[in-house]
Structure 1
């Protein structure tokens, strides 16, 4: 049975590669997830008979559309929009919108596939989806961003709804963009369906703690992982890549728990501050002034700035938390990180480590918090926002944060227990895949061939 299951999995992976040529990011996540599920399929042959994998790797719906808009110079611009509705077995599609020049179908499908398992792990009734555009908000005026968002929503509104598909923000989509998107949705639909988008402003149905949720959740998960190993983040030196929403609030929570964060980066370069990152200064530069991270070293001469963000992995740290983007840590980076004495890696971004880097960490006994589990705090709190919208209530920051912390602790426990049950104790990467998969697979089995 073992050989047959392995061959079946390999065939599904090959079929995905043939049907989706050139989609390297999508191929990467399919291989990483499916190979880890072999023990589950061996133990539960009904999943094989029902062709769960074949059905799981094919999105229920893929939507691509033109997004025309007029810039401040009066020139017509055209971008491409995406929404991939991957799996709704356990609830409405849920996943962010990413606005970035790198966005293509492969990246959206990789993110959407990951979202299936991430959302399943939260224990909340939400399915997996993802969307976005190759539009770049950087350097655009508020007026240009508004026009783009309105054009984008003029098509997207047809495919979403509080009980169908609930998008949120991601890279390039923050409170400003969500506001413009929701305003256009409301205008077209003539309906105040607050639950159709999450990450909204507090004045029109948003949730307290949503902004902090992904960053906080990562640290909550990492802390549980460290506790399991008899350690704590208190007193540890930490490197956190990125300088956006996720990274900023991961730094905040890590510092609150007693860690010393010494490095951050953006797409241009990284800063090193041996005294510990001055987070209010970073927030002033990145969130208010929207400037590059190098400005930090100008205002704090004791800090150092280095061009190019790859060098951040040469900074010695006990704990490394990549929060920037996919595949930011490759095998060479992983070797440097291990040589520097790092004992734990928390994946804050979606798939921030290549498959080779992840395997190297595991081989070397590094504690690895996989992104599906570790960065699920954002979508978990988005689901809590949906709940508040449905109930027409607004919970306090403390209430939401307490629920978030409880969800992240449960995600860790379920991940740990699944890994142990299938003979991979301490391998949270495999544990997250298995725990997320079983819930979705069982739901698909119960609902027949759909």
Structure 2
């Protein structure tokens, strides 16, 4: 039995109650086996055993008082996974589904995603099972202040720099930053995703969605193609989905679908993104409202985005949303490219099937790295007390995403898997982290 398989088997036994983390670790370790086997020193240094264990897991209670005067208690987490390349960097997710397994999976993926950006940042993730939906601003502020009162002991601009994620937008980042500043008595770049008037970066809101499209655009360019005239299906209707749709449409594509937690819309004429912005970002409403004012649109409850024929599929909602039956439907309808905008939105079985069927598959740790890339650029601007223009940041973002595509493609070819961007992205991200860990000794 090989070294990587022994580590995988040990993880499955030790963390049998953490399926999301096991899924992510199994996928990465299996694909990097050729690079690990090529360097026996990794096994001698127990590098994989150290790589799959977080450097630090912080868990704490978050008590706060709701508008009815009742004390609520949530669970808070911060997974500081790997700092070989720089301060821990990763978002704070606020959602009822948050648990240790999901945050470990996200933090583990973040290590390689951050490595691929070539920027000096390590991997981490955090959050809470608190749900900001339906809560008043005062309740969200009360939760955020309690959460940061504990978290502030463990983070800092040179230690750990959290960011936004699902449930953590500009409002939540503002409350978190204000509490950190009040407790620590310092104005530093300890969080990214800040407001533009107090240290935030232009293009951060658009970064993950734009970056996804830039990555796919480079893949298409290598094939002599473009987004022009392509039918694009997108799942989700949050930040990533909206800005991926905006950039794809700007490049000449027709965006046909979007979804939310209750249903999905199909507009063959191309989705009216101004209306989506108003419904989802201003009113925080449901996609069913879109169909009421757009006669060309069909609204369906439940799942179904991937049943519609398309040229390019961009899953931008949540983990494991694109399953094997969806993959079969996409292949049967002639879909040529799948680009992950969310974190691990495609199941392992579906991923393998798509690749086997010749679909160009863009893994999330590469294709959705634009958000963390611009977060790191925000850190740079904060350190220099500078603010770059939108065009400057956007140009840097595009350059980073093009570089990530080629790093993944080159690594895939080098290790005998030409065209397999899953293997390529994992190996390219791993090698940089592994070299740094080896250079820093057994820590």
| Cα distance between partner residues in 2 of 1:305 and 1:188 | 48
Of the three residues 308, 311, 315, the one matched with 1:322 is 315
- Local SS of the residue matching 1:25: helix
Q: Secondary structure at the match of 1:302?
A: coil
Provide runs of 4+ in structure 1 moved above 3 Å. none
**1:223 pairs with one of 176, 197, 217:** 217
| Match of residue 79, structure 1, among 50, 74, 81 | 74
Cα distance in 2, alignment partners of residues 337 and 449 from structure 1: 46
Q: TM-score, normalised by structure 1?
A: 0.98
Match of 2:232 in 1: 238
Give the corresponding residue for 1:412.
Answer: 405
1:56 to 47, 51, 56: 51
Q: How much does 1:11 deviate?
A: 1.4
TM-superposed deviation, 1:223: 0.7
Q: Displacement, 1:230?
A: 2.6
Per the alignment, residue 177 of structure 2 pairs with 182
Aligned to 1:111: 106
Q: How far off its partner does 1:51 sit?
A: 1.3
Equivalent-residue separation in structure 2 for 1:141 and 1:114 (angstroms): 33
**Residue 258 (str. 1) matches residue 221 (str. 2):** no
Residue in 1 that maps onto 2:384: 391
1 CA distance for matches of 2:328 and 2:45?
41
Deviation at 1:332, TM superposition (A): 1.1
Q: Which of 277, 290, 299 is the equivalent residue of 2:271?
A: 277
SS in 2 for 1:102: coil
Aligned to 1:347: 340
Distance 2:219 2:43 in 1: 32
Correspondence 1:37 to 2:32: yes
Question: Is 1:126 aligned to 2:121, yes or no?
Answer: yes
User: Corresponding residue for 2:414?
Assistant: 421
**Could you say which residue in structure 1 is the equivalent of 2:191?**
197
**In the alignment, what sits opposite 1:97?**
92
- What residue number does 2:427 align with? 434
Equivalent of 1:158 in 153, 168, 192: 153
Q: Which residue of 1 aligns with 2:4?
A: 9
Query: 1:23 and 2:18 equivalent?
Result: yes
Alpha-carbon distance in 1 for matches of 2:361, 2:185? 47
C-alpha offsets along residues 104-145 of structure 1, whole Å, 9 cap, x if unaligned?
000000000000000000000000000000011111111111
Query: What runs of 5+ residues in structure 1 fail to find an aligned partner?
Result: none
Task: Give the match's secondary structure for 1:286.
Answer: helix
Deviations 1:151-171 (A, max 9, x none): 110110000000000000000
Bigger drift between 110-119 and 291-300 goes to: 291-300
Q: Deviations over 1:216-270 (max 9, x none)?
A: 0000000111122232111100001000000000000001111100100001100
- How far apart, in 1, do the equivalents of 2:43 and 2:329 lie? 40
2:438 aligns with 445
Q: TM-score, normalised by structure 2?
A: 0.99
Task: Please give the secondary structure, in 1, of the residue aligned with 2:280.
Answer: helix
Kindly tell me the number of residue pairs found equivalent between the two proteins.
443
Q: What is the alpha-carbon distance in structure 2 between the residues aligned to residue 316 and residue 154 of structure 1?
A: 49
1:246 is paired with a residue of what secondary structure? helix
Distance 2:306 2:399 in 1: 31
Alpha-carbon shift at residue 19 of structure 1 (Å)? 2.1
How far off its partner does 1:68 sit?
0.6
The answer as to 2:361 corresponding to 1:368 is yes
Partner of 1:382: 375
Q: CA RMSD in A?
A: 0.7
Residue 139 of structure 1: aligned partner: 134
Unpaired segments ≥5 residues, structure 2: none
